[in-house]
Structure 1
């Protein structure tokens, strides 16, 4: 048995804690927040093998440059003089090619299916009560051009053994009879599931605490003591903590902490927003508004609207222009759904750690013997939480991993 300290208490950190505890280790989780907000709580709740195309894909950089002029665009990179952003942008641009996509799609599909199945396994084994539904996911399109693009993704999914198809507006209407839709067609990925994130996070925290895992909230790691390529201790704003193994799962803050270890993880914080309503919407299936990149999820007791990728540094400032863009997108596809000003005023944001190639960093760096890194999941953090936790446990236990982790290596070059 080893003592493992996990820096970060979001979905990735808690998933690591779960599997390390199940493997017999003594686990401590340290997080600077109250562990009740951020990306792990405001996401769309999708368990989505359908999302196997990485953010770094052909045409994204060109489109992103156009969108930089539009503060309501789905992807907004705030122009600023910052060397880390410049390095990240150059590496991102280099990754935006078809060869990269073809290489990573099977791997992303595998880790996403693994994550989805582990949510089901955890729910059954622990008797958790969180919402977990297999209703699939619609990609709703308002133009024939977008429908054609989305149909290509159906072809990708079918090649990877996932269940997906193109559907007519009438078929969507039959499945959601109480919703008024303005679309030309859609694609439907039957392989996807959805959840209410807060419920799972509360279930998982309660389980870990009752099982003897130590959770230290509102405690910030301010320094890391290293000697001869090995961590000796972490210094928080409260005390010094020591362990045998350390896991760095601090989301968008990971790059700052990694520099203390002479690691250079290229990572940018991608801010996403969510609005929600308890007013009936008639939207009973998870749906993404393809042109507007807005995700809609029927959660337990409310409907959540989530979207945008705003790369503007580490901050939780609510950009009301971005919130308005989500509300406008919803009204465009669902004319009868009106989001109130009060609901928009209660919008929340979370920071998703984005790597330049759209792939997470999972594994050990050659620069530090007793550190395992788990970050960089971008929009897939919720989907890949349990699978990442399982892989981290296998790395620390030095057993054969459940899948090939080569493309996740923290030391990979861009």
Structure 2
């Protein structure tokens, strides 16, 4: 069995460690943080087979340019001189065609279904103890006919692929969500979806890995990656150096910069998201996407989470107050009786999602290095796809037939 180093301790890195240790490998996870914050902790907690349309889709670049000078907009690209961002934007534009989106849809569906099953297997195993894993589905709430017709097209594709979908009118919506008033014309209900509480699962997963012998190095940043020929032979951190038989790059939004140390160009941009937690009864029992507000609502264990926005402004943890306020305002527009307090707004947190130009993750072996496997670039689906990615990584490293075809995720693909 191999000695494996995983760079990155988010849901993808820890899921990779989970499945690799089960195969008997000696695993070390290295993360620059204390693994208590970031995208794996502030996301909406969705398990979303319904999210079959990649971020790179027709009209998204035009929307980004239109919203570029409104820092409160749901989809914001900060104007800046950055050659990596220019290249990524060009690749994103090239990927945003109807033909490429249609090709990506079944692949995205398959990996989401795989991951949903693995979440259920992990819970059934008892390895992490009990945790929230509910299958109530996801409501796509809409106020306008335009939003309805847009989502109806997606729903038809999802239904064709075998996913469970229903339409709800206002009366049916009130029946399924009786304890809070909703200002919406109706909803598309993706019954195939589930939800969790990331802040519950991440500590439990971390504790399980430590208990089973996985070495977890926190507050330790990888500063260099050495190689000889087609093999990585040294990982240098702020606290020391390591050697390994295999290396997994699961460093989220930092994966692109680390790839440069290996002379690999991995087009990747950090897409910042924000969340507000409300630790009071809200009456909300169903996960929902508020379509016109472009934000997510999740009833988690002990609180309700309001999350959203996609901000491309480089790697930074700056919280833009106008973006947080836009989330609170969006929630109020759909739930008129809901009040989000100023203290809750002030306690908002942010996380950065690694976004590839075509909206598909990078999963698989490097073509440049024999002992390097990529596991990054999941955009808004990182949480949903964590277990599937970990399973696929363990199969790639173990030389096994993968649970699904991963050709579309080839890390050094051309755009």
1:111 aligns with 111
Match of 1:285, SS state, is coil
Q: Which runs of 4+ in 1 moved over 6 A?
A: none
Give the equivalent residue in structure 2 for 1:155.
Answer: 156
C-alpha distance in structure 2 between counterparts of 1:165 and 1:72, whole Å: 32
How far is 1:185 from its partner?
A: 1.4
Residues 275-354 of structure 1 mapped to structure 2, 5 A cutoff: 275-354=276-355
Q: Using the alignment, how far apart are the partners of 1:244 and 1:40 within structure 2?
A: 27
Which residues in structure 2 correspond to 1:15-30 (within 5 Å)? 15-30=15-30
Structure 2 unpaired stretches of 5+: none
User: Is the aligned partner of 1:392 residue 2:400?
Assistant: no
Alpha-carbon distance between aligned partners in 2 of 1:20 and 1:87, rounded to the nearest angstrom: 34
The residue number in structure 2 matching 1:206 is 207
Does structure 1 conserve the Cα–Cα contact (< 8 Å) formed by 2:276 and 2:345?
yes
Tell which deviates more after alignment, 121-130 or 308-317.
Answer: 121-130
Whole-Å Cα distance in 2 between the matches of residues 199 and 178 of structure 1? Answer: 25
- Please report how far the alpha carbon of residue 70 of structure 1 lies from its aligned counterpart in structure 2 after TM superposition: 1.8
Per the TM alignment, residue 88 of structure 1 is displaced from its structure 2 partner at its CA by: 0.3
What is residue 41 of structure 2 aligned with on the other side?
41
Q: Distance in 1 between matches of 2:174 and 2:151?
A: 19
Instruction: Look up the match of 1:230.
Output: 231
Q: Which residue of 1 aligns with 2:4?
A: 4
- In the alignment, the residues of structure 2 paired with residue 68 and residue 263 of structure 1 have an alpha-carbon distance, to the nearest angstrom, of 29
- Superposed CA deviations along residues 59-83 of structure 1, whole A, max 9, x for unmatched, are 1111121111222211101010000
2:92 corresponds in structure 1 to 92
* Structure 1 segment 48-127 matched on structure 2, within 5 A: 48-127=48-127
CA deviations on 1:77-122 (whole Å, 9 max, x unpaired) are: 1010000000000000111111011101000000001111101101
Task: Give, in angstroms, the shift of residue 126 of structure 1.
Answer: 2.6
| Shift in Å, 1:279 | 2.0
CA apart distance, 1:289 = 0.3
Secondary structure of the 1:303 match is: strand
Task: Report how far residue 287 of structure 1 moved.
Answer: 0.4
Provide, for residues 279-330 of structure 1, a one-character-per-residue CA deviation record: whole Å limited to 9, x for no partner.
2211100000011111000000100000000000001111001000000000
- Residue 252 of structure 1: aligned partner: 253
Give, in whole Å, the separation in 1 of the partners of 2:172 and 2:245.
55
TM-score normalised by the chain length of structure 1? 0.99
Match of 1:52, SS state, is coil
Q: Deviations over 1:14-65 (max 9, x none)?
A: 0000000001100000000010000000000000000111000111111121
1:130 and 2:131 matched: yes
Q: Please give the alpha-carbon distance, in whole angstroms, between the structure 1 residues aligned to 2:126 and 2:187.
A: 36
| Corresponding position of 1:405 | 406
Deviations 1:234-285 (A, max 9, x none): 0011111011000000000000100000100000000000001122211100
Distance, in Å, in 1 between the alignment partners of 2:356 and 2:275 is 22
Q: Equivalents in 1 of 2:290, 2:42: separation in Å?
A: 18
Conserved? CA contact 1:129–1:203, under 8 Å? no
Distance in 1 between the 2:197 and 2:264 partners? 35
- SS for the counterpart of 2:285 is coil
Rounded to whole Å, the distance in 2 between the matches of 1:186 and 1:133 is: 19
Superposition TM-score, scaled by structure 2 size = 0.99
- 5+ residue gaps, structure 1: none
What whole-Å deviation, never above 9, does each CA across 1:213-242 have from its counterpart, x for those lacking one? Answer: 000000111011101021001001111101
On the 8 A contact 1:44/1:295 being kept in 2, the answer is yes
Matches of 2:71 and 2:241 in 1, distance apart? 43
Aligned residues: 414
Q: 3-state DSSP class of the match of 1:261? A: coil
Partner of 1:32 in structure 2? 32
